[in-house]
Amino acid sequence: MTATVSNTVSTLLLDWYDAHARDLPWRSAPGAAAPDPYRVWLSEVMLQQTTTAAVAPYFEKFTQTWPTVQALAAASEEDVMAAWAGLGYYSRARNLVKCAAQVAAQGGFPETEAELRKLPGLGAYTAAAVAAIAFGQRAVVVDANVERVVSRLFAIREPLPNSRPQIREATDSITPEDRAGDFAQAMMDLGATICTARDARCLLCPLSSQCRIRAEGDPLELPVKAKKKPKPSRTGTAFWIEREGEVWLVKRPGTGMLGGMRALPDDGWSARKDGDGDPPVSGAWKGAGVVRHGFTHFDIELGVAVHASGAGQPVGEGQWWPIETIDDAGLPTLFAKAARLVLSARD
């Protein structure tokens, strides 16, 4: 696109954003003072591969519990992981604690994209988003919504992920010097509400007059995505061990699947193998059923085995947790499903 056309794109998009911006708890209104960098950073980390609807209640809970980056830096990793439970991609939560501690130690967030990249857990996208939205820096912000909008706007037909350098270059060509944060959020909103994966509402799109794919063909043809490989399936068993109104919970290793989370003990399943380990306590077991869950790279069928009453002390480290407050344990979704299965059968 020529400079004149690029300017037209940013002007049209920002005018649309001024009238139609989504009201989100981590945002400032269009044209208003930039939001707190802590809130921008926290929301962007939460929004990675997670929907706005799913993130909003977690964001509200986090900012009520830890209203500043200093407060989050002082929190225990265990508490943060428990509050994160259900959002998935738990390495993000571990990096939150590390990043908050580093930011608090250095007195605040750096303002440039390059310096933000040095913080734990901040990749190219998150650093660019914080630089643009919180600090007004011109940065090229490309998430999945932007990839879709730009692929259609420029009729980029090479399949993802190989097209990403071309998409980034195209996004750079239309990113304005002023209001870069509003522009980035406008692109996100356009992809989330108008130029969506399942629909292209061209009659409502402020960029329809500039869109190459609309002139050339069907917008839903783009972006082209490489075929996904089928996910492997794994099997495993979770063990429910109960005594005197409490259930035995363990803390998973700090690295690996669901690292650092409280969970029911299991038989050692992982992304690479089925479970085959022994239960942590001897005695009679009864099957309670199976729960299913999809991770990014594999699916799992997890059988749930319930120990007979009067269990001895399980092998290994763990804690007895009151069953009546099991929701406060912060179990990851897979193990929360297993707990609900046991308790629903009892009810």
Q: Give the pLDDT confidence of 223-250 residue by residue, as tens digits.
A: 999 888 899 999 999 999 998 899 999 9
DSSP for residue 177:
S
DSSP state of 238: E
Output the six-digit token pair for 158: 């090479």
* Topology of domain 3-221, CATH: Endonuclease III; domain 1 (1.10.340)
Q: What is the pLDDT of residues 85-138, one digit of tens each?
A: 888 888 898 899 999 999 999 999 999 999 999 999 999 999 999 999 999 999
Cross-strand pairs, 246: 243, 322
Q: What is the CATH architecture assignment of 233-346?
A: Alpha-Beta Complex (3.90)
* DSSP assignment letter at 217: S
Angle subtended by helix axes 37-47 and 124-135, to nearest 10? 150
Only one residue has tokens 């929360």, namely: 336
Listed in order, the ranges of the chain carrying CATH 1.10.340.30 are 3-221
Give tens-digit pLDDT for 10-34.
Answer: 999 999 999 999 999 999 999 889 9
Helices (H), 85-163: 91-105, 113-116, 124-135, 144-153
pTM of the model: 0.84
As annotated, the residues of the chain forming the CATH 3.90.79.10 domain(s) are: 233-346
CA torsion, ordered 113, 114, 120, 122, to nearest 10 deg? 40
Torsion of CA 77, 80, 82, 83, to 10 degrees: 180
Q: Which residues are catalytic?
A: 44
pLDDT in tens, 285-320: 999 999 999 998 999 999 999 997 666 788 889 999
Tokens read off for 197:
């994966």
234 forms beta bridges with 300
